[in-house]
Amino acid sequence: MNNLALQALSGKNRSGRPPLWLMRQAGRYMHEYQAIRKRHDLLTLFRTPELITEVTKLPIDAFGFDAAIVFSDILLISEALGFTLRFEEAVGPIIDPPLSPEADFTQLVGRDIVGSLQYVYEAIRQLKRTLTVPLIGFAGAPFTLATYLIEGGSSRLMRKTKRWFFQEPESFTRLLDILAMATIEHLNAQIDAGVDAIQIFDSWANVLPAPQFQAFAANFMDKVMKGLKPCPIILFCRGSSLYAHELAAIKPQGISLDWQADLPKIRSSLGKDICLQGNLDPDILLTSPSVVRKEALRIMEQMRDDPAFIFNLGHGILPETPRANVEALIACVRDF
């Protein structure tokens, strides 16, 4: 087992080079993935343990990243909660009908979350039998999951969500409570199945003003974390450079930083114990190998010999990323 990733998560990587994996490392930038996607639609991929296992391993076999991430999605739990989910080409996820403040969302309580998502846990068990690197499980944070349920899919402005929580904070809080309980069940089942670490994504928490960030994002990531069995946890949100202190106060093993963050500044203000993950701008991977090397080296120099640093992107890898640039990044981190 390559434990560089787990060593960095516990602040004990003395090897001189950081572990490396990418956000959304299994995906459309890989021709192997595109070939599998031609044969199966996305929901079939997400629901079939053998296909989950195959896709999870693609980037490990092709590039040798230091950790694998279960090929799944933060929105599959919405099906377990009784919503209808589909993914439309060139549009993204659609939840139809979406959730409104008038709906009786007590119907979301008492669902068999773990029973509905068995295919995820079966894939984790399969992967653990053969993987040679640590396996990361994940879920969306309650706030980000709520935005998809309320907006009915991807949204940039989150107008319906914001109207709901500004006008009716109590009922919004009740909704987040229900989603937190379901998320805890899903993550504990992933831990039971054998994942080595958990990442919680609050991708849209950047739309929140500071008081609401605390009330709806930070407090609910905290609530989820407190419900989990022992396992290293990494928290991510867009806006993590703005809210790094609030995230660190929840006391996860690691936080994943967006590309706006100044890593040395955040390291000196948070202290050396917490693992920092990040933060190359994914757009840099659209340039050229020499630019990728220059920008990656800048980060490597900044974090040189930091025993609690993991090299990653500041957000998900883009589908149009040229493979040569991913290869240049890997060589740069490996040879540092």
Q: Which residues bind ligand 1CP (CB under 6 A)?
A: 23-28, 37, 42, 69, 71-75, 87, 92-93, 138, 154, 201, 203, 316
State which H helix or E strand residue 299 sits in.
helix 289-302
Distance CA 81, CA 84 (A): 9
Closest separation between CB of residue 73 and ligand 1CP, Å? Answer: 4
Instruction: Give the total residue count for the chain.
Output: 336
Measured from the CB of residue 106, what is the shortest distance to ligand 1CP in angstroms? 26
Contact 333, 293 (CB under 8 A): no
Choose, from 33, 121, 148, 243, the residue flagged as catalytic: 148
- If the CB atoms of residues 35 and 109 are measured against ligand 1CP, the closer one turns out to be 35
| Residue from 33, 47, 73, 267 carrying the catalytic annotation | 73
Number of Cβ within 10 Å of residue 183's Cβ equals 26
Question: Rounded to whole angstroms, how far apart are CA atoms 56 and 240?
Answer: 26
Which residue in 17, 24, 86, 293 is the catalytic one? 24
CB 6 within 8 A of CB 232: yes
- Take residue 56 and report the two structure tokens written for it: 């999870």
Active site residue 37: yes
Provide, rounded to whole angstroms, the least separation between the CB of residue 16 and ligand 1CP. 26
Is 73 among the catalytic positions? yes
- The two tokens of residue 247 are 């995230």
Check if 28 is active-site.
yes
Q: At what angle do helices 142-151 and 219-226 cross, to 10 degrees?
A: 120
Cα-based distances in Å from 297 to 20, 87, 260, 328, 335: 13, 37, 17, 11, 10
**37, 119, 192, 293: the active-site residue:** 37
As measured in angstroms, the least distance from the Cβ of 220 to ligand 1CP is 16
User: 25 or 325: whose CB is closer to ligand 1CP?
Assistant: 25
Cα 307 to chain centroid, rounded = 22
Between residues 204 and 309, which has the closer beta carbon with respect to ligand 1CP? 204
Q: How far is the CB of 199 from ligand 1CP (least distance, A)?
A: 7
Task: Specify the residue, 52 or 215, whose C-beta has the smaller distance to ligand 1CP.
Answer: 52
| Residue 50 φ/ψ region, left for φ over 0, alpha for ψ in the -120 to 50 degree band, beta for the rest | alpha
Least CB distance to ligand 1CP at residue 226 (A): 21
- Region of 214 (left: φ > 0; alpha: ψ -120 to 50; beta: rest) is alpha
Q: Which is nearer to ligand 1CP, 54 or 73 (CB)?
A: 73
CB of 113 to ligand 1CP, least distance (A): 18
24 has catalytic annotation: yes
Query: Of the residues 28, 119, 281, 293, which is catalytic?
Result: 28
What is the Cβ-side half-sphere exposure of residue 184, based on CA atoms within 13 angstroms? 17
Smaller CB separation from ligand 1CP, 176 or 306: 176
The two three-digit tokens of residue 328, written as one number: 């240049």
Residue 92 neighbours by CB distance under 10 Å = 11
Mark whether 29 is an active-site residue. Answer: no
Q: Name which of 69 and 175 has its Cβ closer to ligand 1CP.
A: 69
Q: Is the peptide bond before 134 cis (omega within 30 degrees of 0)?
A: no
Please list the active-site residues: 24, 28, 37, 73, 148
